[in-house]
Structure 1
């Protein structure tokens, strides 16, 4: 590396920090609630510079005064508020990140960063030979320091955090029609609202540039006022000439700040890889870390701490913690004689099946078992079941146990579920990514052996974190026992009557075709109904219907818009019906027959680590969304049927979330309604509208139902008004009256939000935790969203925990009962069992007992049970 740099990067730290903070959502935070939007954006920019320009001598300059501009004008930057609290929390870490990159932080007391930067750049270009400066900033007034010979360039940040454009002299002329040296004159005329520089009223970018092109500079413009068109413009230039001169002075960057830096001696310092990874992992900067690792490339062999980890599924990763172990080739028999009770970390690798062929494990499959004493056993296996059987009842640690194979009978830890409990907001939990973030790597060549060792290390770290956050009981009492339950339900599946479904599909396809022809006739032309652009053209331009909301590609044609204009034209109901049938056809009628096995059973996959509230979901197919409210939806449900001689038993919680609300709010009136067994929506309507129950209208009960669930889901008066199609004032009055009649509910909501703001998170009754960073946002809409999430998570998350505990209880009770029935499906608050007809009553009783058992509180939970040959009949 040369002793003398030929290029120097100068970064305006304040400019980048503020741009990052205001450009990114304030809800970006770590799993512990630490805000990171500014950190994320700032780090991303530094990674971009490293990626595109390599290791360069770099100085990050920070503001430390106003460079005397406050003395010139007391109004200078006077409109700026103090640094936002969320940015204050992140500020010290920005300097830490700079140092980890190997860059220098600097400031000069009394001066702004751009003046310091210009002074360093001036010294650099005056050196012999000169050093080129690249200034990274979001402030456009910095263009004035660009010189004629290309020794100073400005890398201007755009709207996106890492969007940049490099400006030289010609680029500035192309953009403004002005040379860089005229930028202060330009600001003298147009001013700068961000810095409270007044300029001349009525003169903006275009006019300012035109005047300077005509008359040379600011003084030339002021000297030629009489030659300028427009009476008002002449008046403003005359009356505000002093403001213009002051504005130019305020906008002129100083180049003689006393800086104790010799740019010719700045070295290109290698980043501190270990420190960078530690900082990036601490703040959970996953995407920037990935780009950083790619930019850093293969480390210097002289630094063994920066070794390359091999054998991690997903590719070669870099790690700081190099795991080592004694690896021994072993057999299945060796697993059987491990010390009793010894915990093992298990990994099983299998070859990928060729495309189009049925999956089968061949002799190349291997297992890896980390036995916790620094040793790893690895060897061939026939399949995962063989390895798990050999381990017996030893405690097993694994990543995504449900996907590995048979669920170990003594599952002690699952690193996927551990990561989910620690970071429920995360998009996914790839094993390689989790290891990389912790800096875990190993050079063990056998993939299964490497994975087992990494699994053990990752689990150890997770256990510490889970204990620290009070989540260990949730893992061991709820999530881990549930894995085997879900695996059993997936294996059982649910029978589909494909012949019945085919008949429905034929009828629906015919109706869809007829609806399409009807719409074309009413519209007077043929077009693609599924195209929002073409539909918008027909509805709003050709037919002239009311335009409601504009979207990205034109006026919206979503369901709410169509509902609002339904009475304006007979084409609208037909479009709505076409959409309903088309969606159901594509989602279910076309897809379901292709997802069955040889016995016509569908095996959905339950997703345990997705929803932040803890709720389960499913995929391939998504059984949660099989409709029940429409006639066609009920017909589709009717195609899910029990095996011959069996029935489906459906057990559904009755208003579980409202009962939980009554308990956590300790609302006596609401509790009493449930204890008496009254209809909660009727009772609420009677209380809110102050009418006897026999005088209530169906609309009164509907409004009360919407308010009840609106409280649970954090529905605003605007949302309630939209759903009930009533004025917003009326909706607000309903909510206010509700909270007056149930004051403990109002108090619970206020207390929950206040506690969440203090803690940064909310916790369910069973200990599940969710961070709510939105609560600290300055934006009102984001903040109120956080308030709704806080209240809803406590209730819905508790309901999710109750359902999971109920599933575990029901599964165990079925196993102990000797019944032949199986639990085969869960959807929201419902459990579905398949049982021989003779066991229907016994299974119904078992369902009620096990589903109410996890809830020892008041009011009690209630379960509605039904059974029939089809899922629809059972409801």
Structure 2
């Protein structure tokens, strides 16, 4: 059998994937849909066809030889969106780690390079497999060359060989060039013969074999109109054939052996996949056996007093950690308490018989003369607070330290941290406990294995302290670490313990109301459709809309018609069933995702205890899970009604304080933009004023739509938005979006200057900083690849703004928490959402809490523009927002 050479059209596949897989980004906003789709296809075809050699080919942005023949070639195409173009560099970077060669060349297109390589491979007796979304490749098919053509989406393909091409078109593959010459190709702006479509073109070539023979037999062409079109456009027909012919002589020094498949660099791939959050691809990477190091001695202790006596006598700093079963400590209980006195070898392991036993250690945990050290300290503090133990400073958390050093990681695991900073090999959590349904509990692990696992955990915690703290100090993040992030751990743990009271009865009633509407909508939808069907089945819904009701088909997927939100939105007004389906989906999601989901999470105390994440967002923002309280709907009235279920306890009120446009104020401060600073100082509505300036409208004539669009531009600039994304957000053309952005930067020249300067600062330093010296390293800024560099520039702009806003609210949270305790107030901080803080205040403390909140939040830091806080008070989150 011949060896197999696979050639993949990278430009075609990443382009198709970008539009087929919508809204796929990492947590820090890197668009990954194109790369993800490409890799899905790559792994599939390589696994299925097992090629010996492989090459990926790309287009270049420079004009090709075809532009010399026809200046308008592809002239109508808009520039690729920055969200797509930035992904080419990411893909090429991954290909380097896969050890897969790629080719691109000025003056030629990807299909020319692919054709040239295929021809050379054929001469050397290779069977070639071309993978693409471009039908032009079918002209290359012969006995040694087949084409895998993507149909819908990105992983659904049709395989074409000589037989299947001839069966489909009743022509030889090479004759498809002549068909294209006659019919043209609107996507490439190839003119063809005006008025001649695919059906006519196929008929002519089937009858006369080629364009040349068509014109040699022009007198025999039936139909005066067709004959006239052909005669008047003979030059265009030959030009179009030339434009549509894949060039097979690209000047390349081709050595087929150069493309031989090699072993990938798995270590690099894992690092890159982790950064891109491609967990499914990480699982495809091989794992290796490792040896584990020990520098400790573990001891299981049955009498808690023995550990306590040793801790008291030593008077030394100690490492500790509470081990629990399950993935979420809030819904678990501590099973094991472990200690290691700093500088000593022994690790003490105490199996808790009851959570209340933690009170035995209250004295040592509340000792403010000893530093308490942990890896994943928040879970520890949560359990201590839950049992009436207030862990006193000083304490340190190596998870948070590592997060500050490298905030780009998806997760912080002690085994990975130990390998990276200490070059020590540890058992991973998965190696000890397994995963999925077969995951073991602590009690299921043999004593020796459990002792080694906990011993290594505690030993590494101690050893990491010096290494990570030194880096913190070197990077001038001492204040951020010790005075912001570490104190914040206790604040977040306290909020988790307090929870938020929920009116379960109200939620149930609201759910019943929504379920009634769902049933009514179902009946009306069935009536509109003339039949009953599963509305939640995209397949059945597609058949009803497009086969039975004959609505225009917008998009197809590999399983049939697409009925996603984008498709239904475009079908609005075409049939009354569309609005009802959209309403049905909205109410159904509110019921299943929010109402049912929230009811399940209400604790025995009638409160929901969310988990607050401190080490997730690369910008320093806090997030929450189980439930994600930051995601409670606010854009629709029905969604806002869910907030009515979050209530103040008996005899209490909710005091809700929200920073007003904090990110824009931070931007005005950092950019020192005199125009925006002045607008803020005058107390103007910044979005209305921006609309007035950017859209050239009198301030008092700005419409609500103008203001809404200006708001999108204001915040879009903060996020480094491109014209493509802005056009999608506002449903305008990319040209209009570009004009909006240009007008904005001409209005706020200080911001424009800042955007340019912060990028240069990032390039020189390798990182950018927030007001609290929170760093984000941006190696992409110095990439030779334009697209990767463009992503780095957006990050350089965005990070200081979002990160500084995060710093400010964290400083405010700590001060609020401390003041409430200092004043012995019964009111508690219970929630942080973006720029908003909520305190559950006893009725007699509402006024004092309101003044305290406003004073602290507005003076958390000093900027060139005043911080402003809006405060509302109510019995529910709905009323107080």
Aligned to 1:179: 172
* Runs of at least 5 residues in structure 2 that lack an aligned partner in the other structure: 385-390, 434-449, 547-553
| Counterparts of residues 284-683 of structure 1 (less than 5 Å) | 290-291=280-281, 294=284, 307-308=288-289, 324-326=293-295, 328-331=297-300, 348-350=323-325, 377=347, 379=349, 381-382=351-352, 393-394=370-371, 396-399=373-376, 401-402=378-379, 406=383, 412-413=396-397, 415=399, 418=402, 422=406, 429=411, 431=413, 442=426, 446=432, 474=480, 476-496=482-502, 553=563, 595-608=601-614, 614-621=620-627, 623-624=629-630, 642-644=648-650, 646-653=652-659, 656=662, 659-660=665-666, 663-666=669-672, 680-681=684-685
Match of 2:383, SS state, is coil
Pair 708,787 (structure 1): closer, same or farther in 2 beyond 3 Å: farther
Q: How many residues align?
A: 798
Q: Distance in 2 between matches of 1:227 and 1:477?
A: 90
Pair 122,468 (structure 1): closer, same or farther in 2 beyond 3 Å: farther
Q: Distance in 1 between matches of 2:260 and 2:728?
A: 59
Task: Check whether the contact 1:803–1:851 (CA below 8 A) recurs between aligned residues.
Answer: yes
Structure 1 residue corresponding to 2:44, chosen from 42, 48, 52: 48
Pair 683,47 (structure 1): closer, same or farther in 2 beyond 3 Å: closer
Post-superposition offset of 1:806: 0.5
Match of 1:330, SS state, is strand
Pair 115,394 (structure 1): closer, same or farther in 2 beyond 3 Å: same
Aligned to 1:115: 116
| Counterparts of residues 724-739 of structure 1 (less than 5 Å) | none
Q: Distance in 1 between matches of 2:182 and 2:797?
A: 52
Cα deviation, 1:166-208, whole Å, max 9, x if unaligned, reads: 3322122233222345456556656778899887666555444
2:792 matches 1:823: no
Post-superposition offset of 1:804: 1.5
Match of 1:429, SS state, is coil
Post-superposition offset of 1:96: 3.4
Aligned to 1:3: none
Task: Check whether the contact 1:186–1:208 (CA below 8 A) recurs between aligned residues.
Answer: yes
Q: Distance in 1 between matches of 2:814 and 2:197?
A: 69
What is the TM-score with the length of structure 2 in the denominator?
A: 0.65
| Counterparts of residues 204-243 of structure 1 (less than 5 Å) | 205-217=198-210, 220-231=213-224, 233-234=226-227, 240=234
* Runs of at least 5 residues in structure 1 that lack an aligned partner in the other structure: 1-5, 125-130, 298-305, 310-321, 541-547, 690-694
Pair 538,612 (structure 1): closer, same or farther in 2 beyond 3 Å: farther
Structure 2 residue corresponding to 1:807, chosen from 813, 820, 842: 813
Post-superposition offset of 1:811: 1.4
Post-superposition offset of 1:281: 2.3
| Counterparts of residues 136-155 of structure 1 (less than 5 Å) | 136=131, 143=138, 146-148=141-143, 151-155=144-148
Q: Distance in 1 between matches of 2:18 and 2:522?
A: 46
Structure 2 residue corresponding to 1:8, chosen from 3, 19, 39: 3
Task: Check whether the contact 1:762–1:794 (CA below 8 A) recurs between aligned residues.
Answer: yes
Match of 2:323, SS state, is strand
Post-superposition offset of 1:714: 3.8
Cα deviation, 1:703-762, whole Å, max 9, x if unaligned, reads: 997688566424999999999999x9999999999999xx6x453256336745985997
Post-superposition offset of 1:51: 2.7
Pair 243,352 (structure 1): closer, same or farther in 2 beyond 3 Å: closer
Q: Distance in 2 between matches of 1:711 and 1:437?
A: 44
Pair 648,31 (structure 1): closer, same or farther in 2 beyond 3 Å: closer
Post-superposition offset of 1:349: 4.8
Cα deviation, 1:494-541, whole Å, max 9, x if unaligned, reads: 3345567778888x6799699979999x9999999999999999999x
Q: Distance in 1 between matches of 2:134 and 2:545?
A: 45
Pair 850,19 (structure 1): closer, same or farther in 2 beyond 3 Å: same
Task: Check whether the contact 1:618–1:624 (CA below 8 A) recurs between aligned residues.
Answer: yes
Aligned to 1:847: 853
Q: CA RMSD in A?
A: 7.1
Q: Distance in 1 between matches of 2:254 and 2:678?
A: 75
Aligned to 2:715: 713
Q: Distance in 1 between matches of 2:178 and 2:704?
A: 66
Pair 838,465 (structure 1): closer, same or farther in 2 beyond 3 Å: same
Task: Check whether the contact 2:692–2:702 (CA below 8 A) recurs between aligned residues.
Answer: no
| More divergent stretch after superposition (441-450 vs 828-837) | 441-450
2:3 matches 1:22: no
Cα deviation, 1:2-54, whole Å, max 9, x if unaligned, reads: xxxx3423244xx6233345345599999999998887666655533443344
Task: Check whether the contact 2:72–2:189 (CA below 8 A) recurs between aligned residues.
Answer: yes
Task: Check whether the contact 1:118–1:253 (CA below 8 A) recurs between aligned residues.
Answer: no
Q: Distance in 1 between matches of 2:670 and 2:252?
A: 63
Aligned to 1:316: none
Post-superposition offset of 1:669: 7.5
Pair 558,435 (structure 1): closer, same or farther in 2 beyond 3 Å: farther
Post-superposition offset of 1:807: 0.5
Post-superposition offset of 1:809: 1.2
Post-superposition offset of 1:855: 1.4
Post-superposition offset of 1:491: 0.9
Post-superposition offset of 1:136: 4.7
| More divergent stretch after superposition (785-794 vs 823-832) | 785-794
Aligned to 1:278: 268
Match of 2:501, SS state, is strand
Match of 1:806, SS state, is helix
Post-superposition offset of 1:254: 5.6
Task: Check whether the contact 2:873–2:880 (CA below 8 A) recurs between aligned residues.
Answer: yes
Match of 1:272, SS state, is coil
Q: Distance in 2 between matches of 1:139 and 1:641?
A: 57
Task: Check whether the contact 2:334–2:383 (CA below 8 A) recurs between aligned residues.
Answer: no
Task: Check whether the contact 2:873–2:879 (CA below 8 A) recurs between aligned residues.
Answer: yes
Aligned to 2:96: 96
Cα deviation, 1:768-800, whole Å, max 9, x if unaligned, reads: 6598999x9x999x9999999987876555333
Cα deviation, 1:588-608, whole Å, max 9, x if unaligned, reads: 776666544344333333344
Q: Distance in 1 between matches of 2:203 and 2:515?
A: 66
Task: Check whether the contact 2:691–2:702 (CA below 8 A) recurs between aligned residues.
Answer: no
Q: Distance in 2 between matches of 1:162 and 1:536?
A: 21
Match of 1:406, SS state, is helix
Q: Distance in 1 between matches of 2:315 and 2:620?
A: 34
Match of 1:48, SS state, is helix
Q: Distance in 1 between matches of 2:40 and 2:822?
A: 56
Q: Distance in 2 between matches of 1:460 and 1:185?
A: 72
Q: Distance in 2 between matches of 1:510 and 1:104?
A: 55
Pair 429,220 (structure 1): closer, same or farther in 2 beyond 3 Å: same
| More divergent stretch after superposition (761-770 vs 82-91) | 82-91
Q: Distance in 2 between matches of 1:459 and 1:16?
A: 49
Pair 841,152 (structure 1): closer, same or farther in 2 beyond 3 Å: closer
| More divergent stretch after superposition (216-225 vs 552-561) | 552-561
Q: Distance in 1 between matches of 2:504 and 2:59?
A: 74
Pair 167,621 (structure 1): closer, same or farther in 2 beyond 3 Å: closer
Pair 60,816 (structure 1): closer, same or farther in 2 beyond 3 Å: same
Aligned to 2:447: none
Pair 269,403 (structure 1): closer, same or farther in 2 beyond 3 Å: farther
Match of 2:489, SS state, is helix
Match of 1:800, SS state, is helix
Task: Check whether the contact 2:828–2:840 (CA below 8 A) recurs between aligned residues.
Answer: yes
Q: Distance in 1 between matches of 2:544 and 2:52?
A: 60
Cα deviation, 1:196-237, whole Å, max 9, x if unaligned, reads: 988766655544433333234555444433333344544565
